[in-house]
Structure 1
Amino acid sequence: MTSSVWQKSSYSGSNADCVEVRTIDGLIELRESDDGDVIVRTARSKFAKFLQGAKAGEFDHLTTS
């Protein structure tokens, strides 16, 4: 298995509660920097569509409880 280094946004600074991302075996993996036990893995094309939606504001109406 080919691995790469986890990366987070430079806007995160020294915050520990960020989303980290890496590419591994041609897939995108995401995890929370303060709890790396859960990793979400997806195809590059699906991640690109998610990013497009986020940039377009498609998820702005969602709230957390």
Structure 2
Amino acid sequence: MPNQWQKSTSSTQDGGNSVEVSTSSEGLIVVRESERPGETITTTQTKFRLFVEGVKRGEFDHFFA
């Protein structure tokens, strides 16, 4: 079961709906959309860290118009 869910403070720009992140009791990263809390994606800390590093470098900026 995931611990406390965390979302970006920018989420209010979308009416409060946002991507939320938590950790499981096994130390895995759990991701969900706040409007669909029953659907989650689970990954390792290493894979999530590498993804976040890519976001910080702008590797996914082409997804935004």
TM-score, normalised with respect to structure 2: 0.80
In the alignment, structure 2 segments of 5+ residues that lack a partner are: none
Q: Work out the CA distance in 2 between the residues paired with 1:34 and 1:3.
A: 17
Worse overlay, 42-51 or 31-40: 31-40
Task: Give the alignment of 1:1-65 within 5 angstroms.
Answer: 3-13=2-12, 15-24=15-24, 25-62=26-63
Identity %: 42
Q: Is the 8 A contact 1:16 1:34 kept in 2?
A: no
Cα distance, 1:34 vs structure 2:
1.1
Structure with more of its chain in strand, by fraction: 1
TM-score, normalised with respect to structure 1: 0.80
Structure with more of its chain in helix, by fraction: 2
Q: Work out the CA distance in 2 between the residues paired with 1:60 and 1:3.
A: 29
Number of aligned residues: 63
| Distance change in 2, residues 1:11/1:57 (3 Å) | same
